[in-house]
Structure 1
Amino acid sequence: MADNLPYSTSVGVLEKVLEKIKTASVPERVTQNFLNTKLGLKGGSANASIPFMKKMGFVASDGSPTELYSEFRNPKKSRIAVGKAFKDLYARLYEMNEYVHDASDDEVLGLIVQCTGGEKDSRVTQQTLSTFNMLRKIADFDTEIAEVEEVEPENMGENNKFNQSLPLPHFNQGSSHGSQGKSINLAYTINLNLPATKDIEVFNAIFKSLKQHILDD
Structure 2
Amino acid sequence: MNQEMDVSTRKVILTMLKTKGSLTVSDMAKQLGITEMAVRRHLNTLERDGLIEATLVRQAMGRPTNLYSLTGLADELFPKKYHHLTLDLLGELVSEAGEEQVERLFERRKERLISRYGEQMEGKPLADRVKTLAEIQNANGYMVDWNAAEDGSYVINEHNCPISQVANAYNHACQCELMMFKSLLKADVERTECLVKGGIKCSYVIHNEKN
Taking structure 2 as the reference length, what is the TM-score of the superposition?
Answer: 0.32
Structure with a larger share of its residues in strand: 2
Of structures 1 and 2, the one with the larger relative CO (CA 8 A, separation 6+) is 1
Structure with a larger share of its residues in helix: 2
Taking structure 1 as the reference length, what is the TM-score of the superposition?
Answer: 0.31
